[in-house]
Amino acid sequence: MIYEVRTYVLKPGSVATFEENFAAALPHREKYSKLGAFWHTEIGPLNQVIHVWPYESMEERNSIREEAGKDPSWPPKNDPDMYVSMNSEIFNPAPFMRPLGGNQALGSIYEMRSYTYKVGSINKVIDIWADAVPAREEFSPLAAAMYTDVGGLNKWVHIWAYEDLDQRKNVRAEAIKTPTWPPPTREFLVSQENKIMVPSSFSPMH
């Protein structure tokens, strides 16, 4: 399984229109494969929409995108001037990650944390995280944990679901008191960033 994460930066005031157009066109696109998740940013870099597409392989991705591109109702009919930038990354899931997608009601907000690690350290990071995640999930669910295969390399993304910002604050305060959290990977870290996202009305993860 691979996941394509597409991040679009839109001009201010365009997110609602983009989501309306996307929702209208989505049934046509899902004739070919299902959407995994769709969020827009609320805190952090604003005016972003993030949509995630699961595929069995790069070959399946390429074939499906070619077929979907022939559909007259896809992609959504948006004004080209709406876009500031578009980015696509291919991720491999960590062995302990549950499949992303389906009808999963995990939370009202999601935090995406993106870490860049030193070259050659991802496998060690995965092993360390595998030991730490079960105890951390006693506080809130892990929605995704994956690393880049195509795009900016050595990138580790983990996404956590929360009921609201207050729960996020409380969970993080409690989790850090435990002996296994955060995972001891700081020696490998190069950079970190995060964003708070809200699932769109049609997102399978909500």
At 85-115, the pLDDT tens digits run 999 999 999 999 999 988 999 999 999 999 9
Residue 101: the pLDDT is 86
* Encoded amino acid at 153, one letter: L
Q: What's the Cα-to-Cα distance from 189 to each of 20, 168, 173, rounded to whole Å? A: 38, 23, 21
Residue 172 within any structural domain of the chain = yes
Cβ-based burial of 36 (10 A; exposed 0-12, middle 13-18, buried ≥19): buried
Residues of the domain holding 29:
2-98+107-199
Residue 46 within any structural domain of the chain = yes
At 22-33, the pLDDT tens digits run 999 999 999 999
Percentage of residues of the chain with pLDDT beyond 90: 99
Between the two ends of the chain, the Cα-to-Cα distance in Å is: 21
Average pLDDT on 103-129 reads 97
Residue 204 within any structural domain of the chain = no
Residue 206 within any structural domain of the chain = no
Q: Which CATH number covers residue 82?
A: 3.30.70.100
Residue 129: the pLDDT is 98
Residue 68 within any structural domain of the chain = yes
Q: What's the Cα-to-Cα distance from 190 to each of 31, 121, 167, 172, 185, rounded to whole Å? A: 41, 11, 28, 22, 11
Cα–Cα dist 84/47, whole Å: 10
pLDDT band, very low/low/confident/very high, at 84 (cuts 50, 70, 90): very high
Q: Chain-wide mean pLDDT for the chain? A: 97
Q: In this structure, what are the phi and psi dihedrals at residue 184, rounded to the nearest 5 degrees?
A: -80, 75
Residue 146 within any structural domain of the chain = yes
Residue 166 within any structural domain of the chain = yes
* Number of domains the chain contains: 1
At 29-76, the pLDDT tens digits run 999 999 999 999 999 999 999 999 999 999 999 999 999 999 999 999
Residue 205 within any structural domain of the chain = no
